[in-house]
Every structure is written in C-alpha cells, then in structure tokens.
Structure 1
Amino acid sequence: MTPHDQWLLMGGVVGLYLYDSALLLFHNEIVLESKRHGYLVSAGGALEIGGRYLFLPNPCCPHRLLIRLGWSAGEARDRPRPPWKRTRLALSIIAPWTWLLLGLFFVALPYALWVGTNVVLLCWLLLTYLVITAMLLHVHRHRKALNLSTHALIALAFDTLLCAPFAINIVRKISLRQVTPDLRSVASSLLSTAEHSVLTGILRRRIQTSLCFLEQGSAASDALHAYLKHVEDGTP
C-alpha cells in the first residue's frame, strides 16, 4: 500500500465517522448532548444545508447520549416519558466499547498503516470486527432496557458491520432512537438553570424568526408567544 493510499484510507475513515455523527436539524429542533454533569444544548451551527442546520457532536466523545427534541406551539402534552435512568445505565455498559473502537481506528490503524506489516493490518481488521461483534452482543443482551425492537437491532447490526467506522457512534444511534418527551417537559425537569437559559435564548431567536412570517395578533402568532413564555417560566 502506497503512502497515497494510506492517507486516502485514513481520510475515508475520518470522513465516514464525521458523516455518521452529524445531524441536520430543522428550524424547530434542539439537540441535548449529555456530559458528566448535565447537557450541552444546541440547535446546530451557522452552516445551513438545504434549510437545515448542521450539528456535529464532539468527535472525541462518542460515549455521550444525544437527545433530539422538536418544539411546536401545538405539541402534544401526553407523550410517554422514557425511562432515561435505565437507558443511561444500559448505554454506560456499552460506552467503553466506543472508546476502544475510537482507539482502534485513530491510534492502532495509523500504526498498522505506517509502521506495521500486512499481517499487523490483518490482525487489526480481525480485532476491530471482533470488538464490533462483542458490542452488538452487549446491545442484544440489553435490548429491552434500550427499547430496541428486533427490526431496529437488525438495522443497527447491518449498519455497523457494513461500515465499521459507523460502529463508533452506536451509543448516539441508540439514544436517538429513544422516545422523547416534549421539549417543555425536558426544559423544566432535566436542565439546570444555565442550560435552561441557553435553551431559552435559542428558542427566543428561532421564534422571533418564525414570527416574521406570521401576522401579528394572529392565532399562530399568539400561540408562539405563549409557548415561549411557558419555556421562559420553566412551566411544563
């Protein structure tokens, strides 16, 4: 394998990993990225693609859960609340495997490409798929706690085995599949004061943009004003 091929391979791995990590958010969508204490609140960056905002989670933290929420002035208030504690506990068991895969792809693979031999590269390939298989077995074992149907489990296995770099994002993929409550319930129950302030600022900007396309005093305009007031007051 020539140096040019080696760089192309590593570039492809990085590109596939980031592509699979990225989300395109609609105007009324928010993402919470879990951290050790609390959440990072984001509505995507300034880059718009097809009218949607690009969100890229921290590429160095594939173990963090992602919660994707939409807001609407007429959203339903009776959505079931997912068992987040049980889900987070089950995902915490799987999370170390994502760190192992991250090391295999971005430490062991460069070593195998630039320093090792073809035998080392083959060993890396076998070890990588062994880790992915073991991780999928863990997911299968905890599928009830993770609220994964058989169809979802098969789709996840097909996705990660067909394209190995996608397996690094398995915690994110599973967390995004969870049923989520409405955004106001999350704002009033999960977020700290500082996180709630960030969320309120995002919603205020997005709602002001939406109001520019509505007639002042209309039912839709009044509903958006009322929705923003509920979020600012922290009421569910």
Structure 2
Amino acid sequence: MSTKTPDQQNIILDKILVERRSHRQFKQEFPPEEDIRGIIRAGLYAPFAAAAVGGTEDYFRRFFVLKNGSKSMTAAASLIFEKAAVMASTLEQTMEEDPQLRIQASGFANRLAMIKKMGQVPGVGTAPYFIVVAERKGFPPVEQQALAHVLENMWLKATALGLGFQLVSITAQMEENPAFCILLGISPGEWALIGCAVGYPAKELPPSIRPPIDEVTRWLE
C-alpha cells in the first residue's frame, strides 16, 4: 500500500501528465532493460475489451521488443519503409482523382512524402528500442481502442522514468503483412498492431500548450 497521501499521489500524476511529450530525437545510449520491462508492464495493466477477447485460451496481448542494430530491427525498418512508400504512391494517385481528398489528406501526404525522402520511418531504427504491441482481434472490433489504452500507459510510464517516447502509428498498417508478421512470430490478420520508439531524449522539449479547461468544456444540466 502506498505511503503517500492521495494529494501527494495526485501531484505526482499531474506532473507526469503535463510532462508527457512526443520525442522524435533520441540519444544512442540504451536505457536499462528493467526500464523497458517496466514500460511493458504498464501496458500490460491497461484496460481491455473483455467481452470481445476475454474468452480466448491464450492471453490476447503481446509485446515485441526490437533493439537498434539488431537483425530484427533492420528487417522491420525495411518492411515498414516499403509499406510507407507504397502508401505514399497510392495516396498520391488517389488524390489526383479526388479533389476533396486532396484537401483533406494533404498533411498526411506531405508526411509520407517526407518519409520517402528520408529513406526511413522515424522511430524505427532511430531510437534505441522499437516496441510493437499486438492485440488479438475479436468481436466487436475494438482492438485499436484497447491498444490506445496500452500506449497511453506505456507513454506515461516512460515519462515517469525520464525516457522519450514516440508513437509509430504506421505499425498498424503492418497487421496483414506476411513478412512482418512472420518476423514477430504471429499469424497475419489475427492481431491488431501498434508501435512506439523509446530511448533517452536528445533534447528537452518546451511545455505542451493546451487551452484553458473552460474554453473546451460545457457543463450540461
């Protein structure tokens, strides 16, 4: 049982919530494996859709840790970049045929174009660790919502440990990719995926700016 009072715990939690940021530049130094295990443990305790997957015989959540410089990281980086390049080309062609989509997707298209120019997907091979989280698909299909809870827990734990954290959202597009799934040791299409990069941040980021609560909140009677 915690020896801290509720007020003390609340202060600590508020501090972590405010300090949580997206880091995209990392030092080469590897954090201790125990810290990575702690981040995974936090993700393991995230909520899940019991009605959708609770009846499966084996556990419905998996974590895969890829270390920078390893064969698995090199393979994953190549496969994910290839996917990003295909997505960029497909979106570009579709936008030419659909003016409305061109307006809506221009920001994302620019992001994909930048990745193609860089020759790598940020977060995959640019940080000491790339962690892939898998949630078994069920019914109703709420696995991505469950993964969002997992990543938030992991993100907050990384922040508490003084580590940088970057969401690698394109990982979700790899769930049907046979080569990527074989790399992880799972069956294509059976699991929803998401990924993140973890390491010591290369620089301190300024505080996150949010609007006053009263500007975005309406109390209903």
Which is greater in Rg? Answer: 1
Shared fold by TM > 0.5? no
More helix by share: 1
User: Relative contact order (C-alpha < 8 Å, sep 6+): which is higher?
Assistant: 2
TM-score, length basis structure 2:
0.25
